[in-house]
Amino acid sequence: MANRAPGPLGLVQEFVNTLELEPEPVAETREAIGTPEALGAWLDQHGLLGAGGVTAADHAGALELRQALRRLLLANNGGPLREDDLDVLNAVAAAGGLRPRFVAGAQMVLVPDAGGVPGALGRLLAAVAAAMNEGTWSRLKACADHTCQWAFYDRSKNHSGHWCSMEVCGNRAKARLFRQRRRSGAAG
């Protein structure tokens, strides 16, 4: 994956990108975790969930978490920060029973007490918390193109990346701006 976040933050990025929006005129979405079974398979494939099923409530909670994370990534790219997204993260952290654990190397990590999907989602949030503490969280962003919103890791020196791909989304945005300027210049 281009612009993949380092370490466990890359897993958070992959989770957010399980919903792929397609820009117009295609206007189609690709949903990798559209059913409880698909979510269970994705979590298992990524080593987050062992045995056990995924309920409809688990699935709904995971989708809510994914959308809250995507909006937080949009906030990392200059969008508004919504308090209700932080409430979702706090609720998922509580359901997962996240608690501190001290490990070798004078470090503290968060680990979930809960099993199943709440514990799996808790492990994702532990990666978010670690990235916040390491200062890498602000580099994980959602593409500024509202029809894309793909999660990408901003590797620019000054943290100024806005698009997941300058060649695609960046050029599309610049072409839109050019057409708008041209129309307003012709109208004026």
At 3-12, the pLDDT tens digits run: 899 999 999 9
> Is 148 buried (19+), middle (13-18) or exposed (0-12) by CB count in 10 A?
buried
At 84-119, the pLDDT tens digits run: 999 999 999 999 999 999 988 878 999 999 999 999
pLDDT at 35: 97
CATH number of 9-162, picked from 1.20.1630, 1.10.3300, 3.40.50, 3.30.70? 1.10.3300
pLDDT at 31: 95
pLDDT at 171: 65
Domain-by-domain residue ranges, the chain? 9-162
List alpha helices for 8-82, DSSP H. 9-16, 36-45, 56-76
User: Mean pLDDT throughout 63-83?
Assistant: 97
pTM of the model: 0.87
- Residues in a beta bridge with 107: 103
